[in-house]
Amino acid sequence: MASSFLQRLVDPKKNFLARLHMKSVSNRLRKYGLRYDDLYDPMYDLDIKEALNRLPREVVDARNQRLKRAMDLSMKHEYLPDDLQAVQTPFRSYLQEMLALVSHMQFLVRTKTELVQLLFCIKTTRCLFDLHNYYSHFVVLDE
């Protein structure tokens, strides 16, 4: 119930304030010729870095060009010309699908690692004894 409330709250189609915020962000991104996905920092999040490494070279080069142009415009205290602002697509995503794929791949690797550790643990008697000692601390005995 809470998640459906939050989804309605941030959905621009259903909430006036969310729509107003999205329009404001869109206008600011258009002024510099950026896309929303350009704002993700690969130095801050390793998933973003991995997703960018897996994207085609042309997409990454276009992203870098947009970022350089935006920094140049910002330093000059200028905006893109109006005709170029009109053709910008600030919410066309190029990173989200790859980011979801990278996150899913990392989940699969973690699951596989845990499964291998568990199978290795089951094969060794010593590990079974260690597991028994580990879990016996959490068992509450009625006395």
| Burial of residue 32, with CB atoms counted within 10 A of its CB: 0-12 exposed, 13-18 middle, 19 or more buried | buried
d(CA 114, CA 111): 5
In the predicted structure, residue 131 carries a pLDDT above the cut 60: no
CA-CA distances (angstroms) from residue 74 to 9, 56, 78?
A: 32, 27, 6
71-122: pLDDT as tens digits:
999 999 999 999 999 999 999 999 998 888 888 888 888 888 887 777 776 6
* Residues 73 and 32 sit within 8 Å (Cβ to Cβ): yes
> Does residue 4 register a pLDDT over 80?
no
Q: What is the mean pLDDT of residues 51-75?
A: 95
Q: Is the pLDDT of residue 30 over 90?
A: yes
Maximum pairwise Cα distance, the chain: 81
3-state DSSP: the chain helix, strand, coil percent, rounded to 5?
70, 0, 30
Ordered structural domains, the chain, with CATH? 2-136 (1.10.1090.10)
Q: Report pTM.
A: 0.69
